[in-house]
Amino acid sequence: MNIAAVERDSGLPKDTLRVWERRYGFPAPLRDQHDERLYPPEQVATLRLLRRLVDVGYRPGKVVGLPDADLTRLLERVSGSAQQPLGAEAREVLALLGASDAIGLREALGAMVLRVGLGDFAANVGPGLAQAVGAAWSRGELEIHQEHLFTEQFTNVLRGSIHMAQWAGAPRSRPRVLFGTFPQEPHALGLLMAEAMFTLEGCLGISLGVQTPITEIAAAARAHQADILALSFSAMIPPSQATAGLDELRALAPATAEIWAGGACPGLRDKPGLKIVRGLSEIAPAVRAWRARAAEPA
Amino acid sequence: MNIAAVERDSGLPKDTLRVWERRYGFPAPLRDQHDERLYPPEQVATLRLLRRLVDVGYRPGKVVGLPDADLTRLLERVSGSAQQPLGAEAREVLALLGASDAIGLREALGAMVLRVGLGDFAANVGPGLAQAVGAAWSRGELEIHQEHLFTEQFTNVLRGSIHMAQWAGAPRSRPRVLFGTFPQEPHALGLLMAEAMFTLEGCLGISLGVQTPITEIAAAARAHQADILALSFSAMIPPSQATAGLDELRALAPATAEIWAGGACPGLRDKPGLKIVRGLSEIAPAVRAWRARAAEPA
DNA sequence: TCCGGCTGTTTGTCCTGGACAAATACGCCA
DNA sequence: TGGCGTATTTGTCCAGGACAAACAGCCGGA
């Protein structure tokens, strides 16, 4: 793999890959006949581990260069604290994915929504499933195509449920919420789960889908007279980019629109005009608080 | 805007921005107190125009450095030649997008499906709408966020219709069809329209979503015992990459699985084990032919 | 004991200018 | 007109230097 492929795969910018090599002696890629870096697959795998450790707060100088075994141990210590014993739902989903049973998977997910309700599903079960699938993938127990299958079926079930929720209950009302992700963020799952939570609260939601340029999110906020811009971040996105992008959006968006950011991206902080939503279950009370604020001055 | 922000916004890599400046004298960013590039907004807008011209085949050396008026004229010439008179549906959709009426748009698309039927919608109306929206965007009549809104609502309506179609009619049967796109191809619309056509023919469809690595598509073909691998290509993807990828997939996938490729990518050709589907309405007869072939040797 | 400010170190990102392979255009000949 | 070999264009890579922002560690005061 050449350096551009590794950048895509590991999420580490080319400059960082080169400077790590210079400073820490790792990665140590081979060279092709034209002296360009060629990364062996196992080094790319190690880089993925390092990326995750750095994301959770380890400093590169302390961990780059350590053998894989140590890195895995550190990661387990981190995720061990966050790791719950897998719920029955997660076990069922992993079993169906292992068997490549697409239809069974869709039916199982649909049944879960019906059993626990959309709110509980989107706020608790869904994130748990996504985390379990991601963890299984990073342990090598799932192939990429099985993760794709999960994403696809999960998306379908959630979209269908949101669609039904839009017609149920009271007619849609304010706040008008605009959903989107930044250009570097291709993951739609977090956005969809947030959309479900807002919809259940009776908000009027409009989604721009993933990977919308920041200037365009701001323009859409004006066009749709949005009250809230809801942005979703996965752990994949570098926190520095997320923060920089949020600052840029805050400068460009109308002052009447609040910006709410959430997701698995660590290191985000509240600022004037920017609200960090730490979990999906915070959305419902936050919407009620918004409505109280909106009613007050009137 | 610094160079990283411009890379995000224009889609042009940092290296390319610097080398254009060195070779063509444009962009000509200001410098901050630490000699780092600062791009004024109007240069970023010009870079977006250039990006689009390069994407449709112009060579950077010929267009970088030209004044904005010339670039706009060239862009108009490109989109003008492909322009057909707009149907009533397209005019309605463009009007709703212009008004940023998300709810009206969804209702209009839903009504279209009901009026002409899913098959006609997916095979004829849908591609026409997508083309009209793309053309309006390249003429500068639509903003990016309005195109995103269209994609999102179109996707929702189509997914909902496919979901209904799966429960209607005869129970799903072979061929088992696996849907996907190559890693460089992020567009899901073509794939969804194809999924609709196959579903209407009673096929058992399984989607991997977009941007699945080729090795993973092949692995999924085995896991799901797929009869047909359906790949979708937009005009964005370089034909050389598409051909190379299809050859690789043919080599990796099980011989029992046929590969069907379709979409707006020019220059694709039939080969042994590879079928090019030139239009969505070809899918129905092709599925019937597959079934006839499958029944014959038995 | 805890907290806020100060200082030294770490780290990511930017810089220049050079190089070359792949893609594309061009000229030539059949 | 169409196929083929050569010339040009173009994107991406390289090295090694620089510096600001983020961070850790220390210290003194409440």
pLDDT at A79: 65
The pLDDT value recorded for residue B87 is 86
Residue B105 has pLDDT above 90, yes or no: yes
What would the two tokens of residue A248 be? 């840029």
Cβ distance A284 to A290 under 8 Å?
Answer: no
Say how far apart CA B253 and CA B221 lie, in whole Å. 7
pLDDT on residue A72: 87
Model confidence pLDDT, tens digit, residues A81-132: 555 677 899 999 999 999 999 999 999 999 999 999 999 999 999 999 998 9
Burial code (b: 16+ CB inside 10 Å, e: under 16) for B188-205 equals bbbbbbbbbbbbbbbbbb
Q: Which of A254-263, B23-32, B74-83 has the lowest mean pLDDT?
A: B74-83
Asked whether the beta carbons of B141 and B191 are under 8 A apart, the reply is: no
Tokens, residue B160: 């909902």
Residue A236: pLDDT over 70: no
> What is the distance in angstroms measured between the alpha-carbon CA of B270 and the sugar C1' of D9?
32
B208 interaction partners in chain A (CB closer than 8 Å):
145, 148-149, 152
Task: Using the structure, give the distance in angstroms from the CA atom of B16 to the C1' atom of D10, rounded to a whole number.
Answer: 9
Mean pLDDT across chain B: 89
CA to C1' distance (Å), from A78 to D30: 36
Cβ-nearest to A208 among B5, B148, B212 = B148
Q: How far is the CA of B211 from the C1' of D11 (A)?
A: 23
Residue-averaged pLDDT of chain A: 89
Q: C-alpha angle B253/A144/B206, rounded to 5°? A: 65
Report which of A120, A223, A129, A151 is spatially closest to residue A180, judged by C-alpha positions.
A223
CB-CB contact of A37 with A3 (8 Å):
yes
- Listed residue (A256, A233, A230) closest to A243, CA to CA: A233
Instruction: Answer whether CATH 1.10.1660.10 is correct for domain A3-78.
Output: yes
β B30-31/B37-38 pair status: antiparallel
Q: Is the CB of A57 under 7 A from strand D?
A: yes
Please tell me the predicted confidence (pLDDT) of residue A239.
66
CA A294 to chain centre: 29
pLDDT at site B20: 95
Amino acid at B16: T
- ω into residue A266 within 30 of 0, thus cis? no
Tell me what pLDDT residue B267 has.
Answer: 62
Per-residue pLDDT reduced to its tens digit, B35-73: 899 999 999 999 988 988 887 788 899 999 899 999 988
Please give the single-letter amino acid code of residue A211. Q
Q: Tell whether B36 is within 8 A of chain A (Cβ).
A: no
- Across the interface, do A208 and B5 touch by the CB < 8 Å criterion? no
Residues sharing a CB contact under 8 Å with residue B172, sequence separation 6 or more, in sequence order: B166, B202, B203, B204, B205
Nearest CA-CA distance, residue B118 and chain A, Å: 18
Neighbours of B119 (CB within 10 A): 18
**Helix (H), strand (E) at residue A138:** helix A126-138
Whether B151 and A102 lie within 8 Å, measured CB to CB = no
Integer Cα distance of B187 and B151 in angstroms: 9
Contact of B48 with chain A, judged by CB distance below 8 Å, is answered with: no
How much of chain B exceeds pLDDT 70, in percent? 92
A204: Cα separation from own chain's centroid: 22
Pairwise CB contact (< 8 Å): A209 & B148:
yes
Structure tokens at B44: 């970023």
d(CA B1, CA A119) in angstroms, rounded, equals 40
CATH number for the segment(s) A170-295: 3.40.50.280
Got the DSSP string for A230-250?
A: EEEE-TTS-HHHHHHHHHHHH
pLDDT score for B113: 97
pLDDT above 90 (res A148): yes
Q: Which of chain A's residues have a Cβ under 8 Å away from the Cβ of B152? A: 207-209
Q: Distance (Å, rounded) from C-alpha B189 to C-alpha A279?
A: 31
- How is residue B68 written in tokens? 């904005």
The answer to whether domain B3-81 and domain B88-165 are alike in fold is: no
Phi-psi region of B209 (alpha: psi -120 to 50; beta: other; left: phi over 0): left
Write down the residue that tokens 């007869």 correspond to.
B285
The yes-or-no verdict on residue A47 having pLDDT over 80 is yes
Q: At what angle do helices B144-167 and A214-223 cross, to 10 degrees?
A: 80
Residue nearest C9, CA–C1′ metric: A61
Burial group, residue A289, by CB count within 10 angstroms (0-12, 13-18, 19+): exposed
DSSP string, A66-99: --HHHHHHHHHHHHHHHPPPPPHHHHHHHHHHHT
Beta bridge partners of A229: A178, A259
The answer, for A7 touching chain B at a CB cutoff of 8 Å, is no
Taking the C-alpha atoms of residue B83 and residue B74, their distance in angstroms, rounded to an integer, is 14
CATH number for the region A88-165 comes to 1.10.1240.10
Domain locations in chain A as residue ranges:
3-78, 88-165, 170-295
| Chosen CATH of B171-295 out of 1.20.1070.10, 3.40.50.360, 3.40.109.10, 3.40.50.280 | 3.40.50.280
**Residue whose token pair is 């088992």:** B176
* Assigned architecture for domain B3-81: Orthogonal Bundle (1.10)
CB contact A144 to B (< 8 Å): yes
CB pairs under 8 A between A and B: 97
The closest alpha carbon to B198, from B260, B106, B136, B129, belongs to B260
What confidence tens digit (pLDDT) does each residue in B226-277 have? 999 999 988 766 666 677 778 778 888 999 999 999 987 666 677 778 888 9
Neighbours of A119 (CB within 10 A): 18
* Residue A66 CA, nucleotide C16 C1', distance (Å): 33
- What is the DSSP track for chain B? --HHHHHHHH---HHHHHHHHHHH--S--EE-TTS-EE--HHHHHHHHHHHHHHHTT--HHHHTT--HHHHHHHHHHHHHHT--PPPHHHHHHHHHHHTT-HHHHHHHHHHHHHHH-HHHIIIIIHHHHHHHHHHHHHTTSS-HHHHHHHHHHHHHHHHHHHHHHHHSSSPPEEEEEEEE--TT----HHHHHHHHHHHHTTEEEEE--S---HHHHHHHHHHTT-SEEEEEE-TTS-HHHHHHHHHHHHHHS-TTSEEEEEES-TT---BTTEEEE-SGGGHHHHHHHHHHHHHTT-
Rounded to a whole number of angstroms, the distance from the CA of A289 to the nearest CA of chain B is 26
With a CB cutoff of 8 Å and minimum separation 6, the contacts of B32 are B38
- d(C-alpha A60, C-alpha A197), whole Å: 37
Q: Do A209 and B9 touch (CB under 8 A)?
A: no
Closest CA to A147 of A132, A126, A162, A125: A132
